[in-house]
Amino acid sequence: MKKSFKKLGFVSLAASGVLLGSMNATDLETYAALQKSSHVFGNYAEKDKDSKLTSDSPTQQQDQKVAQNTASNDSQEATTLENTASTDNTTATTDETYTKSTDTTVAGAAQKVETDNTAVQSAEQTLKTDVAKVQADASAKDFDETTFQADQAAEQTAEKALQQAESKLNTDQQTLNTALQDQTKTPTPSTPPTKEEPKHTASSGTPPAPESPPAKKDETSGTPSASGSSVASQLTKDTTMVNNLKSVSVSAMNTTLSGVETMSQQTATIGNLLNSSTDLSSVIPNAQGLNSAFSTLESAQNTLKGYLNSSSATIGQLTNGSNAVVGALDKAINQVDMALADLSAADTQKTQAVTLATASDSPTTTTDAINFLNALKSNLMAQKDAFLNVHKNIQTAVAQAQETYTPSVINTNNYGQMYGVDAMAGYKWFFGKTKRFGFRSYGYYSYNHANLSFVGSQLGIMEGASQVNNFTYGVGFDVLYNFYESKEGYNTAGLFLGFGLGGDSFIVQGESYLKSQMHICNNTAGCSASMNTSYFQMPVEFGFRSNFSKHSGIEVGFKLPLFTNQFYKERGVDGSVDVFYKRNFSIYFNYMINF
């Protein structure tokens, strides 16, 4: 062995050409489920196919009683819609004369109103038929749950169809009113009003009859104001509909589901009213905020309804769903209060103005808008009062479930290949008489990327989290042994074995979702969550190394990290969620430069 190659102290720099590895991600969830929550909260219990239940069966009597209550509630909802349809029919009959107008725009708009009215009346008859079927099913001597549910589904479909038809009619009615207003702004040159009025007065003593039907007038001011009066009249109709919505009663546990269903139906009805009024924003400043608040409330109520009707809903889903509805109700009430405050301020300013000639129809419209908003607030307050019982029933069921539940465990493992680059720099020296044994210390840094087919789990944690970036860094210590060395001392072959002390960091697609979940959990009573994107790591490594010149060499190594990173941890009243990431191993090829 040449003396020069036995000297102490060689600085080495390694640049990786290839770094291969294996990646593992684990999603472990333990949660508490409310078994058959649909039965707990008022859905109909499943019947044994082999048993023959009669009307004397206590279970069937209870089911039929619930069905009768549901049918009664549905009938009241349908009556409100039918009353609106009757009002629409009266309005459309009045507008029928406009179909003969010489103004093609007015005539076309009036024709659409008549077509819409035909659809409304047809949908009303369908709804009446379906309501009668549901009531007959609920009152039948031999109550059949399957038939009742099927007919009730058809009834709800008919109810939605009628709501949509009425919404379209209201939109086209407003278009007609706008066309009539535009018509009054365009004078007819061939028939000046100053010459027409004496002629008709002398011959008949009655007001002149124009060639086309006149525009609607504001009854308060007596001036033509088709748009303003249409908004006012529509608000009056909408106010009546909201006031006619029945009060919701939730008392016993088995009325929880039906109560939430009724609330969601009422919210949907009000949402349709807000959506169908295209001119509402001209009267209510925050009409868009109102619309958004009711949309959020309906979504929260439907989500909770799904949990209540589920065969196995988690305690966390029910608790969070209930809290979401409470928050949405408060938000909607706040939006209504803001709208009322804005209208009151605007009305005061108009009253103090020197002249009101430019807003002659505003008193009626503003008053109708205030009445409409007060009706909305009354409905929301009634819903909130009823929902307090829903919230209480859910808390009672959750408390019972926590005493008796059997934890369910979901464990999802996903594996993927990792690719990356590696770099290290350090100092090595050999010792002993033959200088075959040595030691080196160095710093290292590597980047790895993996693409995991992570489809998530039942609770949706980490859904779609497929791209994973891993960074490792630290210091390493290896024992070296050369089992071959050329006479010149430049060509060597040997083994190395050692370990590292450092850290691992992960950047994961879907990390923002977990941060959001962590924030929600930490702001919920009885829940805590944490996330660790970086952690301590101690890899063990071994491999083969060789120098083929004085300054160049190669090595092939196998690195095995010892610790697993708990990327996400959540503990709540309904169970726990744990997400782990670990680089299982890596195989690397380094080109070494010796100085």
Distance in angstroms (rounded) separating the CA atoms of residues 193 and 178: 23
Mean pLDDT throughout 42-47? 40
Query: Does residue 369 sit in the same domain as residue 447?
Result: no
- Torsion over CA: 96, 99, 102, 108 (sign): positive
- The residue that leads in pLDDT, 416 or 444, is 444
**Rounded CA separation 390/155 (Å):** 25
Whether residue 208 lies inside any domain: the answer is no
| pLDDT for position 110 | 86
Query: Which of the pair, 439 or 216, is modelled with greater confidence?
Result: 439
* Residue 492 and residue 416 share a domain: yes
Over pLDDT 70: what percentage of the chain? 68
Residues 477 and 400 in one domain: no
Q: Does 197 map to a domain?
A: no
Give the HSE-up count for residue 112: Cα atoms under 13 Å, Cβ half-sphere: 18
| Helix ranges (DSSP H) in 140-225 | 145-185, 193-203
Q: How far apart are CA 160 and CA 158, in angstroms?
A: 5
Last residue of a domain, one of 361, 388, 404: 404
Residue 460's pLDDT band, with cuts at 50, 70 and 90, is very low
Closest-CA residue to 534 (of 514, 499, 508, 559): 508
The alpha carbon dihedral of 282, 285, 289, 295 has a sign of negative
pLDDT category of residue 50 using cuts at 50, 70 and 90: very low
Same domain, 435 and 290: no
Rank 74-78, 215-219, 516-520 by mean pLDDT and report only the highest: 516-520
Same domain assignment for residues 399 and 414: no
Report which of 374, 413, 421, 382 is spatially closest to residue 581, judged by C-alpha positions: 413
pLDDT for the residue numbered 297: 93
Residue 492 shares a structural domain with residue 380: no
Range 378-387 average pLDDT: 90
Give tens-digit pLDDT for 329-348. 999 999 999 888 888 776 55
> How far is residue 258's CA from residue 454's CA, in Å, rounded to a whole number?
38
Is residue 476 within 8 Å of residue 499, measured between CB atoms?
yes
Q: Which pLDDT score is estimated for 2?
A: 40
Element (H, E) at 18: strand 10-31
Identity of the residue numbered 379: N
Predicted local confidence at residue 145, as pLDDT: 75
Contacts of 202 (CB under 8 A, 6+ apart): none
Give me the pLDDT at residue 536, please.
Answer: 94
Name the residue with higher pLDDT: 122 or 146: 122
Torsion sign across C-alpha atoms 154, 158, 164, 167: negative
- pLDDT of res. 248: 79
> Which of 8-17, 38-47, 351-360, 570-579 has the lowest average pLDDT?
351-360
Establish if 220 belongs to a structural domain: no
Q: Are 41 and 397 in contact (CB under 8 A)?
A: yes
Task: With a cut of 60, say whether residue 160 has pLDDT above it.
Answer: yes
Least confident piece of the model among 358-362, 377-381, 471-475, 532-536: 358-362
What percent of the chain shows pLDDT beyond 90? 13
42-46, 166-170, 257-261, 320-324: least confidently modelled range: 42-46
The 10s digit of each residue's pLDDT in 178-220 is 787 777 665 544 444 444 444 443 334 444 444 444 444 443 3
Tell me which of 347, 370, 404 is where a domain ends.
Answer: 404
Look over the chain and give the mean of its residue pLDDT values, rounded to a whole number. 74
Name the residue among 304, 283, 426 with its Cα closest to residue 368: 283
For the segment 70-79, the average pLDDT, to the nearest whole number, is 66
Indicate whether 155 belongs to any domain. Answer: yes
Q: Please indicate, yes or no, if residue 259 is contained in any of the structural domains.
A: yes
Q: Is beta strand 10-31 parallel, antiparallel or unpaired with respect to 408-431?
A: antiparallel
**Number of folded domains that form the chain:** 2
Q: Do 378 and 333 lie in a common domain?
A: yes
pLDDT at position 74: 65
| Structure confidence at residue 40 as a pLDDT band (50, 70, 90) | low
Q: Judge if 353 and 425 occupy the same domain.
A: no
Question: What range defines the domain where residue 500 resides?
Answer: 3-32+409-594
Same domain, 276 and 369: yes
pLDDT at residue 106 greater than cutoff 50: yes
Residue 251 falls inside a structural domain: yes
pLDDT score at 538: 95
pLDDT score of 240 more than 80: yes
Sign of the dihedral through C-alpha 182, 185, 191, 193: positive
Q: What pLDDT, on the 0 to 100 scale, is given for residue 558?
A: 92
Average pLDDT over residues 434-458: 78
Q: Give residue 566's identity as a one-letter amino acid code.
A: Q
The residue-averaged pLDDT of 30-49 equals 47
Checking if the pLDDT of 563 tops 80, the result is: yes
Q: Provide the phi-psi class of 266: left if phi over 0, else alpha when psi is between -120 and 50, else beta.
A: alpha
Q: Is the pLDDT of residue 452 over 80?
A: no
Domain endpoint, select from 404, 426, 454: 404
Do 91 and 238 share a domain, yes or no? yes
**The pLDDT of residue 69:** 64
Average pLDDT over residues 510-531: 81
Please tell me whether residues 366 and 485 are part of one structural domain.
no
Q: Which of the two residues, 428 and 93, has the higher pLDDT score?
A: 428
CATH number at residue 555: 2.40.160.20
Q: Cα–Cα distance between 558 and 161 in angstroms, integer? A: 67
pLDDT for 44: 37
Residue 212 lies in a domain: no
pLDDT score for 296: 92
**CA-CA distance, 148 to 129, in Å (whole number)?**
14
Cα gap 283→368, rounded to integer Å: 10
Determine contact, residues 518/560, Cβ cutoff 8 Å: no
Residue 257 sits in the same domain as residue 124: yes
Handedness of CA 187, 190, 193, 197 (dihedral sign): negative
343 or 546, higher pLDDT = 546
Amino acid 343: pLDDT: 81
pLDDT for 385 beyond 50: yes
pLDDT in the model for residue 395: 79
- H or E element in which residue 568 lies: strand 565-572
* Least confident residue range of 232-236, 336-340, 564-568: 232-236
> Is residue 207 a part of any domain in this protein?
no
Q: Output the pTM of the full model.
A: 0.45
